[in-house]
Structure 1
Amino acid sequence: MNFETIIYEVKDNICYITINRPKALNALNVQALTELSKALDVAAEDENAKVIIITGAGGRAFVAGADISAMQMMTAEEAYDYARLGQTTYNKIQDLPKIVIAAIDGFALGGGCELALACDIRVASEKSQIGIPEVTLGVFPGFAGTQRLPRLVGTGMAKEMLATARKIHAAEAKEIGLVNYVVPENPVAKAEELAAQICKNSMSAVALGKRAMNEGMEMELKKGIEHEAALFAVAFTTADQREGMTAFLEKRPANFK
């Protein structure tokens, strides 16, 4: 793919989307967000891409935030449009019928934290720091951070992170459930390990399971349970269900397409 701020590549059924603005610590301006949105569209349709890893170039930051220089003189109307661009882009990650893993190496602040929150799984290196420091700039998170963060870590911790603007180091992030794994270095390698494990399984079942969780979390519990049953039934219309159960009964590995 020909992008200026994004590197897109696929290898061994893993799609790598790298935010490539290292001199700006991969800060997200309108161009980067627009290209990220397009890259996600490509990944959604790419049959060779079973799992997606999102990371940042340069080794200093995943994404250090939004581009403050581009935001400083925005009008309220422009700020709304900018927030909606970030939100709709990140919503694509949530809605993708594929697992998306954030490989965080360095700063994941503001819009970078929100990007990680939109992903399904988060892996961070020990040096990483994660936070939403927007209140130090006179604003607050606008790329769905006020919605996704409390759903992940609880409202008490989310409000503390919002109001204090403090950066959470990787070990604490793991402790509060903000990241799944902390590794000494090279979080992409751990992300690849997880991706390879995921790729062995039924992609249709993973997609339906992700959808059941995402949509069910927005429902009252009994409605969510009913929704799960409906999607569970859909799984029984797939070739993967027939192959998976046949393979189990024949005591052989399943050969999912």
Structure 2
Amino acid sequence: MVLSMAVLVGHRALLQAFRVKATGHDSVCRLAAAFCSRQYAFPGKVSPSSRLNGPRAGTRHYSSDSKEDLRVRYLDGEDAGIVVVGINRPKAKNAISKNLVKMMFEAVEDIKKNNKVRSVILCSLVPGIFCAGADLKERAKMHQSEVGPFVSKARALITELGNLPVPTIAAIDGAALGGGLEMALACDIRIASNTAKMGLVETKLAIIPGAGGTQRLPRVISVSLAKELIFAARVVDGAEACRLGLANHSVEQNNSGDAAYLRALELAREINPQGPIAIRMAKLAINQGIEVDLSTGLAIEEACYAQVIPTKDRLEGLAAFKEKRRPQFKGE
């Protein structure tokens, strides 16, 4: 029993109703219950299990001419439920192109439909780079009329990434600039190496962040700090990003250049054993509750809590506690 993120698509109208129409706790509770009451069952779709990059990595190839701009690995064994989405455009510093946007949309849709996924790690397969932002060489070849629709599609992709129902972790082992940082900001958690470089640098090009940066950065750090970073197009390293609250953790980079990824994998392994429906409901309650007043947020939490009460996982958790054993949650 899994809540579809399709609920989120229509959440704006509901939240407007929260703000304008709700009068008293009972009214808010009724609205929140409606918000969380729809339940969806997804088929357990798993990617083809061609074995690349190690014994626990299933890699999907989306098209024969993509040159592997994106590699998606559904881990198995003890790491089953963890999906690693790796950007792989070494010649373009992982810049966001039309093809990359298309492939990432496909990857996000596959993940969204798969109720076996417990967490997602977004990382780079190119040493020293997370994502350098928009592919400006490709952009320069676009007609002016093409730029707006492309930016809109990239913005929609990042919104969909943010709307994934499971925890998402950005592993930033290199430069995350412009749209690259906007992708990371759409993730729930950011882990950066101390050598990583992060910044919304669009004002250097006489434009502004166009894929959510002006909205997500102030919500992650303070409004005044976000203004300073955006106005000055300032780039900070991983340690400074952690101090500002832009990154949850800063780790010392290793010789392989994947320290942030390894820390992200550790965190995903911490999340993996927990109740998957509970994790999804917790994410939903946090994401929706933070946008409204406390009373409405508490009602959203109450409605989300109601979704976990009838689950088999909740009964398994109680039984495991009583029997002093590790619970075996199935997402049911």
Q: Same fold per TM (> 0.5)?
A: yes
Asked if 1:198 is matched to 2:271, the reply is yes
- CA shift at 1:180, angstroms? 0.7
- Displaced runs of 4 or more, over 6 A: none
- One-letter code of the match for 1:254? P
How many residues are treated as equivalent by the alignment?
257
Q: Which amino acid in 1 is paired with 2:94?
A: N
Name the structure 1 match of 2:173: 105
Counterpart Cα distance in 2 of 1:98 and 1:116: 15
Alpha-carbon distance in structure 1 between the residues aligned to 2:153 and 2:111:
18
The 3-state SS of whatever aligns with 1:195 is helix
Alignment partner, residue 71 of structure 2:
7
Which among 115, 123, 138 is matched to residue 70 of structure 1? 138
Deviates more, 1:45-54 or 1:131-140: 45-54
Q: Cα 1:76–1:208, aligned 2, differ >3 Å: closer, same or farther?
A: farther
Kept in 2, the 8 Å contact 1:95–1:211? The answer is: no
Q: Which residue of 2 aligns with 1:92?
A: 160
1:116 alignment partner, one of 177, 184, 190: 184
Unaligned runs of 5+ in 2: 1-59, 254-258
Aligned counterpart, 1:126:
194
Highest Rg: 1 or 2? Answer: 2
SS in 2 for 1:182: strand
Query: Cα gap change, 1:156/1:50 in structure 2, threshold over 3 Å: closer, same or farther?
Result: same
Residue equivalent to 1:189: 262
Q: Cα offset for 1:73?
A: 5.7
Structure 2: distance between partners of 1:146 and 1:190: 28
Q: Is the 8 A contact 2:72 2:85 kept in 1?
A: yes
Map of 1:35-46 to 2, 5 A cutoff?
35-46=103-114
1:252, distance to aligned residue in structure 2 (A): 2.0
Confirm whether residue 153 of structure 1 aligns to residue 225 of structure 2: no
Please tell me whether residue 251 in structure 1 is matched to residue 251 in structure 2.
no
Partner of 1:136: 204
Structure 1 gaps of 5+ residues are none
Aligned-partner SS, 1:72: helix
CA contact (8 A) 1:64 1:109 kept: yes
TM-score by length of 2: 0.74
Per-residue deviation, 1:48 = 4.3
Query: In 1, Cα distance between the equivalents of 2:287 and 2:154?
Result: 19
Distance 2:315 2:144 in 1: 54
Q: Please report how far the alpha carbon of residue 158 of structure 1 lies from its aligned counterpart in structure 2 after TM superposition.
A: 0.6
Give aligned-pair identity as a percent.
Answer: 36
DSSP 3-state at the match of 1:197: helix
Q: Partner amino acid for 1:24?
A: A
Evaluate the alpha carbon distance shift between residue 56 and residue 169 of structure 1 in structure 2; reply closer, same or farther with a 3 A threshold.
same
Is the Cα contact below 8 Å between 1:109 and 1:132 reproduced in 2? yes
Q: 1 CA distance for matches of 2:86 and 2:108?
A: 11
Q: Distance in 1 between matches of 2:233 and 2:251?
A: 24
**Deviation for aligned residue 1:77:** 4.6
Cα drift, residue 211 of structure 1 = 0.5
Q: Which residue of 2 aligns with 1:236?
A: 309
Q: Distance in 2 between matches of 1:212 and 1:80?
A: 33
Query: How far apart are 1:79 and its partner, in Å?
Result: 3.0
Q: Would you say 1:22 and 2:90 are equivalent positions? A: yes
**Structure 1 CA distance, aligned partners of 2:243 and 2:186?**
19
Q: State the distance in 2 between where 1:87 and 1:203 align.
A: 28
- 1:179 pairs, out of 241, 247, 257, with 247
